[in-house]
Amino acid sequence: MLVFIGTSFIGCESDDDDNSGQGEIELSTTITGTENFPELSGEGNVISLNNEFTANVTINGAEPDSEHPWHVHEGTCATGGGIVGPPDEYALLEVSDEGSAEATATIIGTGLSEDGNYHINVHLSADDLGTIIGCGDLNGDNTI
């Protein structure tokens, strides 16, 4: 009779202070409005760990009671680029009566590259993703 006994460790952390093996990248941005929507401002933060990342966006100065899709994109605001991860995994920014909104998305199965360029776009509406009302290049103290 053959018996196999095994142990698997998933997501374990070592006692080392270096994050090697963690694959952690922390990025942040200031979101500014576009020429047609200059009043929009906000911030975005992204933390990527191995093959997933969590992004958080806060905006101010948007039209009250509106809804805006947003995504992390490859490239910069100037160059544009594709959406990172499935677009439907990003919760809508649901704007309050005061013109502010906050949303968080956790994208599983997709990590960010330490050497990559990324940005956050805020779109006018689900029916008009081509109109960008706010954008910010993600940058920061990347750590791997």
Q: For residue 98, is pLDDT > 70?
A: yes
> What is the overall mean pLDDT for the chain?
84
Token pair belonging to 32: 């500014």
Is the pLDDT at 115 greater than 90? The verdict is: no
Q: What per-residue confidence (pLDDT) applies to 113?
A: 87
Q: What is the pLDDT of residue 6?
A: 32
2 CB neighbour count, 10 Å cutoff: 3
The pairing of beta strand 67-68 with beta strand 93-94: antiparallel
Tell me the residue type at 9. F
CA 125 to CA 130: how far, in whole Å? Answer: 9
pLDDT for 114 equals 83
Please give the share of the chain, as a percent, with pLDDT higher than 90.
72
Whole-model pTM: value is 0.81
CA 13 to chain centre: 24
Q: Which of these, 135, 102, 143, lies nearest to 119 by C-alpha position?
A: 135
